[in-house]
Structure 1
C-alpha cells in the first residue's frame, strides 16, 4: 500500500511541476489560449492532416482584439504578436532585443547548420555582412546567363509536354525540376538536367528532405512535451552521410576551379572569393568593398562554412520558388482574364527588348502584382520566429517579454486577415497595383520578412520565379482539368515552409 501511495505522490508531483508552466501567461496578465497537459494549446500538434499555419491562425483568431497573446507549445510559452506596430518594433526598430531565430541545432555535431539562417548573435551579424554583396542586382545580372540556360531547357520541355497526354502535366513537378536545375547550376556549379532526367540524384536529395512523414510530426510533439529529449536523441539529428556528400561535392568543385582558373559567375564563385580575399566587390561597376569592421566577430570562410551556405541556398531555393510559381500558375488557370493580361504584358515587353533579358524581367509590373498576390495568399513561410535575447518592455504597456521567450509573427494569419486584405481567399492582383498598394497596412504583408534578418536571397528567388513564369506563359496557356484539386490543401509539416499536398495538375495549350 505504501508503494502505491508513494507512486501516486510521485505522479502527482510530476504532474504539478509539469503543468505549473500553464499559468505563465495568466500570472503576467497577458491574454492567452489555455494550455492543457501534455500538448499545451495545440491538441492537433501530432495530427498529420492539420496545416500548422491554420493552427496558428486559430490562436490568432482567439486572440482577436488583443495586440498580442500567449500560447503553449507543449510546455513552452510562446507569444503571438497580432499588432503590426509591435511587429515592426520587434523586426526592425527594436531588433537588438530579437536578433535570433528559434532554431535548436548543434553546430558541433552538424556543420551544415553554420549558415546564415540559423547562426545567432555576433556570428550571424559578421556572416550577414560578408554575404550581403552576393545577392546584389549586379551579381544576379552576371549570373543571368545560367538562368537562361535552364529556362531554355524548360521551354523545350513544356513544348514536348504540351503535345503528350493531351497537354496534361504535373506543373508542380515540372517547375520543381526547373528550380532544381537553377539551384544546381548557380549554387553548386553542377550541369544537371533534372527536367529531362527525373531520377537525377540531386533532385532526389531535395525530394527526400521535404518528404512528409507522420513519424516526424510525432517526434516534434515529443520534443515540445519533453524539450530535453532533443539533446538525447542524437540519431534523429544525424546528417553525416548527407553532410559528407555536400562537403565532397563542394570541395571537388572548388579544387577544380582553383586549379584550372575556372569562373562561372555563380554563387560558389562568390563564396570562393570570400574564402580567398575575405570580402567581395559589392558592385562590379564600382570598386566598393564590404569588409569586416573591427567590432565584428571574425568568421573564416573555410570549406565547412562554404558548404553550409550552399546547403541553405539549396534548401531555401528548392521548395520556395517552385511553390510560388506552381501556385501562381494554379491561380492563373482559374483566372483566365488575369492570365491573358499577364501574357499581353509579357508579349509587349519581349517586343520592346527583343527577348527576355535581365532588364525585361524588371519591367513587368502586372507580373509583379500576380507574384505578390500569390505570396500573400500562399506565403512561403507561414510563421516567422524571433527569440527575445534581452528583456523587452512592449511600448505602451507594462508587459516585459522575458529573455528566451519565442515570439511568433503569424504571416499566414496576417495575410488572410480581412481587416488588412478584404475577402482574403479571393485571388486579386489589383491589391498590389500602384493605386492600391499604398493602402496596405505596413507589416501585414511579410513574404520575405523585414528588418536585418529579412530574406537575403529575395532578389534571387524573385528572379527565378519571374523567368520561370515568363518562359511558360509566353508560349503556353494553363487551364484546370478534372484532375486539378481545388482548393489546394496544405500538408502538416515540421517546417515553417507551406507545402500543398500532392500534385498540381494543369493542362498546357500552345498560344
Structure 2
C-alpha cells in the first residue's frame, strides 16, 4: 500500500512539473509574440520610424547603462529632423512611441494626459500631481495653484534665506579643507530647504553630513535597476500592475514620509502651531475638506521625489558654467552687490535681478531638469498619430537645436536678455518646466530656492575650475541630468 502511494505521489509530482513547464512555455511564447508584434508596430501602420528596434530594448539600447536618455533621444530627434519629419516612430524599450520634432505639435500634445500609472487605493505616489491621472486631477490642480504663487514665495522667503545663510557659515568653516565638497553642500542646502519649507522640520542637514531625512531622500531618488524595472511594468502594463498592487516606491520610504507628515500635522493641531510654509497651506486645504490626508502626504512627498534632484542638478550646472565663464560670474557678482548694496537679501531684491534670471534661464536651457516629457495621444488627428500612443517630447534635444538656439553648446545668458534676439520665437522650444495644464506647478518654489542659493554663494565666494577644465559628462544611470563623477571639477575661493 505504501509503495503504491509513493508511486502515485511521484506521478502527481511529475505531472505538476510538466504542467508548470507547459504554462511557462506558453507564457514565454505569448510574451515573445507580443514583443514581436510591438517591434513591427510602425511597419504595419506605414508610419515613418527609426530602424532596427531590439526585441526588448527597442531603439534605446544602452539607455541608463552607457548613455543618458537625453543624448540618446537627441540622436533619434536629429535623425528625424534630417529626414524632414515632424514626428517619427520608435520603440521606447518595447513600448511603441512617437517622438515629436515639430514645436507646434508639441504645444498641442502638452494639453493631453501624461498617461502614467495611477493607483490611488494602493500607491501614495498616485496622490501627487505628477502621477494623478484620475478625473479629479484638474480640480486638485486648481486647489493647489494658490499654494505656489508669489504670495507664498514671499512668506517662505525668509526661511530659505536663513538656510542659505547657514550654508554660507558652514562653507566658510570648511572651505580650506582638502576634502571640502561643494557638491555636497549644495545637496545639504536643497535638502534642508525642502525639510523646513515643506515638511516643517529642521533636519540640520547643513551642519550634519548625514541625517535620517537626507538618507531617506537619497534612497527615494537613487537610481536602481529593480526600481526601473518596476517603473517599466507600471507604464507598459498598468492594469497588470494594479492587480499585483505594484507601487512606485518601497514601503519603508513610503512609511517614513507618511509618518513624518502625519506626526508634524498632529503636533501643529495639538499645540495650535501655525507657520508660513507649504505644509500649513496643505493643512488648511485638508481642514476645508478640499484634499484628503493621503493627498496631503503625497503632495509633500512630491517635493522630494520630483523637486530635490532637479534643484540639486540645476545649481551644480550653474556653478559649473560660472566657473568656466569668469566674466559672466564677475558680471553676476556686480549685479548682486549693486542690488543688495550692503543690505540683507529680501524677496523684492532677489526677484529684481535681471542678469541672475538670465543666467539661471540659460542653465535651464542647457541642462533642463527633465530631459523629456511624455503624453498620451487622445485622438489620431495629429499627423496620423494613433490614439493612445505614447508621445515623447525631447526637451533636451529641442533646447540644443541650433535652429532654435544658435550655437547651443555655448553658455550665453544674453539669449534671455530683454532685447535678446538669439532665442527661438516659438515658446514651446523652451520647456524647462513643461508647459500646458500639466506644467510644473512648483516651479516658482524651485526657482526661488536656486536663486537664493546662487546669490549667497556668488556674493561670498568665487567659483574656479579645480584642475583642467573639461567638458561636462552626464551620469548614464540617472533619471535626471546629473554630472558624471570626475567631470564636475569646481572649487570655492574666498573673495579678496
TM-score (norm 1): 0.85
SS at match of 1:460: helix
Q: Is the 8 A contact 1:74 1:225 kept in 2?
A: no
Q: Higher mean Cα deviation, 18-27 or 444-453? A: 18-27
**Cα distance change on mapping 1:403 and 1:360 into 2, 3 Å:** same
Match of 1:506 in 2: 490
Shift in Å, 1:121: 4.4
Match of 1:74 in 2: 93
Are residues 1:406 and 2:419 paired? Answer: no
Matches within 5 A, 1:177-196: 177-196=188-207
SS at match of 2:429: coil
Matches within 5 A, 1:162-177: 162-165=175-178, 169-177=180-188
Match of 2:168 in 1: 155
SS at match of 1:498: coil
**Cα distance change on mapping 1:17 and 1:193 into 2, 3 Å:** closer
Separation (CA, whole Å) in 1 of partners of 2:132 and 2:247: 21
Shift in Å, 1:232: 7.3
Separation (CA, whole Å) in 1 of partners of 2:230 and 2:142: 36
Separation (CA, whole Å) in 2 of partners of 1:20 and 1:350: 63
Matches within 5 A, 1:448-459: 448-459=433-444
**Cα distance change on mapping 1:235 and 1:386 into 2, 3 Å:** closer
**Cα distance change on mapping 1:438 and 1:262 into 2, 3 Å:** farther
Structure 2 unmatched runs, 5+: 1-23
Match of 2:291 among 274, 294, 301: 301
SS at match of 1:145: helix
Match of 1:364 in 2: 353
Per-residue Cα deviation, 1:412-445 (whole angstroms, up to 9, x for no partner): 0001111111221111111111222574232111
Shift in Å, 1:227: 7.9
Q: Is the 8 A contact 1:52 1:493 kept in 2?
A: no
Larger Rg: 2
Per-residue Cα deviation, 1:231-261 (whole angstroms, up to 9, x for no partner): 6776775622222221221111111111211
SS at match of 2:462: strand
Q: Is the 8 A contact 2:230 2:248 kept in 1?
A: no
Are residues 1:427 and 2:417 paired? Answer: no
SS at match of 2:40: helix
RMSD: 2.6
Match of 1:51 among 57, 61, 68: 68
Match of 1:262 in 2: 273
Q: Is the 8 A contact 1:481 1:506 kept in 2?
A: yes
Shift in Å, 1:23: 3.2
Separation (CA, whole Å) in 2 of partners of 1:10 and 1:256: 52
Match of 2:379 among 391, 394, 407: 391
Per-residue Cα deviation, 1:61-116 (whole angstroms, up to 9, x for no partner): 1111111111112332111111111111222xxx2xx1x21422433222243111
Q: Is the 8 A contact 2:463 2:493 kept in 1?
A: yes
Q: Is the 8 A contact 1:39 1:225 kept in 2?
A: no
Q: Is the 8 A contact 2:336 2:455 kept in 1?
A: yes
SS at match of 2:205: coil
**Cα distance change on mapping 1:322 and 1:39 into 2, 3 Å:** closer
Matches within 5 A, 1:6-25: 15=32, 17-25=34-42
SS at match of 1:71: strand
SS at match of 1:451: coil
**Cα distance change on mapping 1:11 and 1:170 into 2, 3 Å:** closer
Separation (CA, whole Å) in 1 of partners of 2:418 and 2:281: 36
Separation (CA, whole Å) in 1 of partners of 2:273 and 2:316: 35
Are residues 1:480 and 2:493 paired? Answer: no
Separation (CA, whole Å) in 1 of partners of 2:70 and 2:38: 24
Are residues 1:373 and 2:376 paired? Answer: no
Separation (CA, whole Å) in 2 of partners of 1:152 and 1:80: 44
**Cα distance change on mapping 1:436 and 1:268 into 2, 3 Å:** same
**Cα distance change on mapping 1:81 and 1:252 into 2, 3 Å:** same
Shift in Å, 1:13: 7.8
Match of 1:315 in 2: 305
4+ residue stretches of structure 1 with deviation over 4 A? 7-17, 214-238
Separation (CA, whole Å) in 2 of partners of 1:156 and 1:432: 32
Q: Is the 8 A contact 1:179 1:317 kept in 2?
A: no
TM-score (norm 2): 0.87
Q: Higher mean Cα deviation, 261-270 or 225-234? A: 225-234
Q: Is the 8 A contact 1:373 1:427 kept in 2?
A: yes
Shift in Å, 1:135: 0.7
Shift in Å, 1:10: 10
Shift in Å, 1:204: 1.1
Shift in Å, 1:218: 6.0
Matches within 5 A, 1:11-160: 15=32, 17-34=34-51, 35-45=53-63, 48-64=65-81, 65-91=84-110, 95=111, 98=112, 100-160=113-173
Per-residue Cα deviation, 1:138-170 (whole angstroms, up to 9, x for no partner): 1110111211210110110121122333xx742
How many residues matched? 467
